[in-house]
Structure 1
Amino acid sequence: MRTLLRNALRELRRHWRYLIIAQATLLVIFPLFFLFIAPSAASTPLTARSWGGWAAHPQTERCYKQERIATLLAFWLGPLGVDQWYARHWVLAVFKMLTLGGLGVWHVVDVNLWIVGGIYGTPGCPGGSGKAWAY
């Protein structure tokens, strides 16, 4: 186990520049996709808007905004559990933060679950904790 860890650290030291370039490239290119899939509020009624998947659509403009913010938090700060803190899922937030987003796997899965919708919710909205917030 110690040899495996030592080899992994050696590889990270050798290729750190490439890893940073790849991460920076993803952080710049991936958000550009949101420009093409984000619906316009003026052209699409709220009942028809969604990120994709389940039938539990946001009931109000506030819920829709909260879910979009949670999705963006999951994408940008997901390994720290910020999206779960925002949605007031305390237990998930603590475990996600302690495991750094399940070493990246939980982070990727959570981004997809927020995009599809219906699995997680925000307070006062479908799937949430039921406590309404003032937005």
Structure 2
Amino acid sequence: MSDNTTQRKALQQLQNEPDQERIAYYRKPFMVLWAAVQEASSELQDDYSLSPELAQLWVAEQLRQVSDSLVDRLAEIAVAHGESKSNVARAAGASPDNVLRRFPRLKTDASHGRTLVDDVLDTLE
């Protein structure tokens, strides 16, 4: 059995797991993220007098944008390491038929410039 087939079967098995089983894989990282949103939003409340609700929304939206950029980058890395575009689409919950629409940077002639996550990572150095 090819590695591509093995990966596809593993992704299908994961997709068929009950929600609670799948959530268990990312529950802990989510709790860390939620705590980070709470902490960052309290600083916004203090610095800008934003309500807790708007401060949390603002922080979560910024994180969503960076996370989207990270997903795009991880898709590129997976393909560069030999994963099929179809399995990359499956791992991201997208149809394999729409992989290039979901990840336009996977096109052979696509620009591979900087992404938002690159800018964020640069601030950590």
What TM-score bracket applies, with the shorter chain setting the length? 0.3 to 0.5
With normalisation by structure 2, the TM-score equals 0.33
Hey, which of these two has a bigger chunk of helix by percent?
2
With normalisation by structure 1, the TM-score equals 0.31
